[in-house]
Structure 1
Amino acid sequence: MDIDVLDAPFDETALYHSKNETKFAVRNATVEDDEQLIKISAETVPSNGITLSYERHPSYLAASHAQYNRPDLKVVVPVDDPSIVIAMMNLGWRYCYINGQPDLMRYVADLRMNPAYRGAKVMRLLMDYVHDEIPQDTIFESVVLNANTVAASILHHERSGFPLPYFYDEIRTFTVSQAVKPKTFNQYQFKTLTAERVDDANDFILKMKDHYNFLPSYDFNALVDGQNPFWAGLNLDDFYLIYDQHNQLVGLYGLWNQKSFKQTRVIDYSRPLKLMKPFYNAYASVRGVLSLPKIQGTFDYLMLHSPLCHPEHLDVFATLVFHAKQQTKRRGKETYCITLAEKDPRIGWMKNTTSHVLKAKHYFHSFKGNPYAAFDRKRISYFEAGRI
């Protein structure tokens, strides 16, 4: 497997040094760092009165393979003790379709720093590394929640020596607890994905690449033997194929339970939410919406994997959204998450759901100027809630 996480101890020659910060250095992460990575990656993020921690248990390194086809994790360490991790940044690769062609996208995520070192020039060091060690024509992609002002202030503002940020999309992640049943629901039939239907699913992805940019180059054959870490937590029977009255495949989606490697934990609530929480949870139990867990408890929901159909086929999308809610409840969960770009025509149907909405911004970053010309803006940006 082609990854940039070392399975052997580092050595001094593998350290990157910068004249702008002499006390710290950058190196590749190793398996020996995993326990520290779990702790530092669980940074707290405020969101609508709730302080959340996005955790990777039992292994950050294992979980990163479900986010990237090829993780490339860099860590910042003190020069006098390179075994201590004080910051991290993943610059991994994703295999996807760009303008309809198979390509690579380098995705910036999990930029984390020990709060005790935020006064140091750690970010300067990481950006020096990016400038000196990564080809200058690289285009980076990032998605940052609007509520994560720390990450946004680092990634989404121009800084000398940093790759320039270019805003591309507003996106929305919906945590769906109720969905209206569309009038056309009974016109469609659902079939569970099987080994015999994998070729059909793969062919459908090839059709969808004509409409969506940055769509992962999915190969559902990886589910047949169940060994590919990019598909961690997923099986064939987690996926559903949608057929119309003419037995044509018109839609696809999967339900992804990530609890075995990724959790969203509540660290604290604002005072108003603490007072309101008992009443809200009583309401939630009646309405079948997502309840608020105890402090230090985790949310329990599913992610929608590959929720795909032709962007103009709103009847198919409405059917997908409602069917996903039915299947979520059958699996003992109350809610699922789906992420859509604001310019995706399907997002209009989401007003027919009861959903909690998180807003985020999608950026590209480049040393070589505005990268917009590299992308067909007519295509709809595709995002997967479970890999943001």
Structure 2
Amino acid sequence: MASRFYTRPAQENDSDELIALIAATPQVGAITINFERTPDFFMATKVVTQILDVWVAIERESDRVAAMFSIGQRDVYVNGGRQKVRYGNDLRIHPDFKSGRTLFNLLKCYRKAMGSDWMQTVILSDNDASLNSIGSGRSITPTYYDFGEMTTHMLYLTNPRLTMPRPGSESKFNIRKADHNDIDLMQVFFEQQAKTKQFYPHYDFIKLLNGDEYYRGLVISNYYLMFEGNNLVAMAGIWDQSSFKQTRFVAYSKLMSVARLLNNAYSKLFGGMMLPKAGDKLSYVSLHSLLVINDDEKLFSRLLQYIYNDCLALNYQALVCGLPSLDARQRILEQYRSKVLHSKHFIASYHDDPRHKFDTTYPLYLEPARL
């Protein structure tokens, strides 16, 4: 007897159903949030991974998409060298098909697609359902090995940050936006610095000019360069992904509904981010490609302040910046009013624990804009 479901690679014409599947499976909590992918599911997926590997489970009778997962590949730095690594995300099952059989069929496909590879994945710390699932001990699921945590700050863009330079230091640093003439300089600086981090995603800045889908929505002027004299000492970009990826505040718990009203009343009087109404989207921009020589806190603080003020002037509600939880620069982010999200980073494999392969002298780096 044929199984109720079969699995196959996702196709471009599955986009509408995949968008509907995401809408039906929000991140439930005090604030129920959904990370949407309109108008085309694959636009956002091609920003997360360079080589797509998305699979769907189809109910035979209705021909509906019942579930999906993505384990595509992208170039990251591992132990100082560049290599293709899988990133697992979007493991979702539609509420209409939440049965053990759906999951079994999906994970059977998952195991075959993974083969001998290992992958990275990130799970929000308050996503109890996913965290309980990965610890279930099922042989059909990969083993998830802890490999660091991430703290992401959604900085409320409210009032300008005032700079207070020391006497005589005003001209020591110069921050400006990048242009096409900076691409070679940026690439050299990037490759020197990014390879010192574990899992830093590789960037090829010339591809910003060529319409590469991995850089959708990015232009060279989205980058900020910080110089000490003639030397480039730090850089970062901002990325507005709202044309293909959105964050919707679906619902608030009763307690959080009251907290939202109090927050918004306070924000009107004293400045702060207005929490959206249930059903509304948040207007934000993400900090990415962050590289600072020696991870210097003072350089990072000055660059962040400059970018914060620029984003405020552009009328965004928030600036999203994520760093490993153990990164000393977290204390700079803590000086801003923000909504904080904690995430757990895992290495997953169906085979032996691969963590012994990673040199722990390389600090972890994860890019929120590519998760």
Q: TM-score, normalised by structure 1?
A: 0.88
Q: SS at the partner of 2:106?
A: helix
Name 1:231's counterpart in structure 2. 215
- Residue 71 (structure 1) aligned with residue 52 (structure 2): yes
Task: Give the equivalent residue in structure 2 for 1:242.
Answer: 226
How do 1:52-67 residues align onto structure 2 when only pairs under 5 Å count? 52-67=33-48
Secondary structure of the structure 2 residue equivalent to 1:121: helix
SS state at 1:46 partner: coil
1:20-51 Cα deviation digits (max 9, x unpaired): x922111011112111000112321134x211
Structure 2 equivalent of residue 298 of structure 1: 281
Kindly indicate whether residue 85 of structure 2 is the aligned counterpart of residue 100 of structure 1: no
Q: Output the CA distance in 2 between the equivalents of 1:97 and 1:153.
A: 30
Provide the residue aligned with 2:28 in structure 1: 46
Deviates more, 1:187-196 or 1:168-177: 187-196
Paired amino acid for 2:50: N
Q: Is the 8 A contact 1:107 1:141 kept in 2?
A: yes
- Is 2:282–2:317's contact at 8 Å kept on the other side of the alignment? no
Aligned partner of 1:132 in structure 2 is 112
Q: 1:207 to 1:288 in 2, by over 3 A?
A: farther
* Within-5 A mapping of 1:19-34: 22-34=3-15
Q: Once the 2 structures are TM-superposed, how far is the Cα of residue 382 of structure 1 from its aligned partner?
A: 1.2
Query: Which gives a bigger RCO, structure 1 or 2 (Cα 8 Å, sep 6+)?
Result: 2
Distance of 2:213 and 2:42 partners within structure 1 = 11
Residues 1:219 and 2:183 aligned together: no
- AA matched with 1:175: M
Q: Which stretch shifts more, 340-349 or 356-365?
A: 340-349
Write the distance in 2 (CA, Å) between the matches of 1:351 and 1:180: 16
Structure 2: stretches of 5+ with no match in the other structure? none
Q: Distance in 1 between matches of 2:271 and 2:191?
A: 37
TM-score when normalising by structure 2: 0.92
Equivalent position amino acid for 2:70 in 1: N
Change (3 A) 1:293 1:46: same
- Listed as ranges, the gaps of 5+ residues in structure 1 are 1-18
Which range moves more in the overlay, 186-195 or 60-69? 186-195
Shift of 1:275: 2.5
Deviations 1:186-216 (A, max 9, x none): 4421121111101111111111134211111
Asked if 1:387 corresponds to 2:370, the answer is yes
Distance 1:91 1:331, change over 3 A: same
Q: Percent same amino acid at aligned positions?
A: 26
State the distance in 2 between where 1:295 and 1:183 align: 42
> For 1:1-388, what aligned pairs fall within 5 Å after superposition?
22-42=3-23, 43-47=25-29, 49-81=30-62, 83-136=63-116, 138-177=117-156, 181=163, 183=165, 186=170, 187-225=172-210, 227-244=211-228, 246-388=229-371
Structure 2 distance, partners of 1:33, 1:60, is 9
Question: Contact 1:27–1:76 at 8 Å: present in 2 too?
Answer: yes
- Contact kept? 2:56, 2:65, Cα under 8 Å: yes
**Residue deviations 1:110-166 (CA, integer Å, cap 9, x gap):** 111101211232222222223234322x01110000122222222354321322110
Amino acid at match of 2:110: V
CA contact (8 A) 1:51 1:269 kept: yes
CA distance in 2 between counterparts of 1:289 and 1:384 reads 26
Contact 1:158 1:165 in 2 (8 A): no
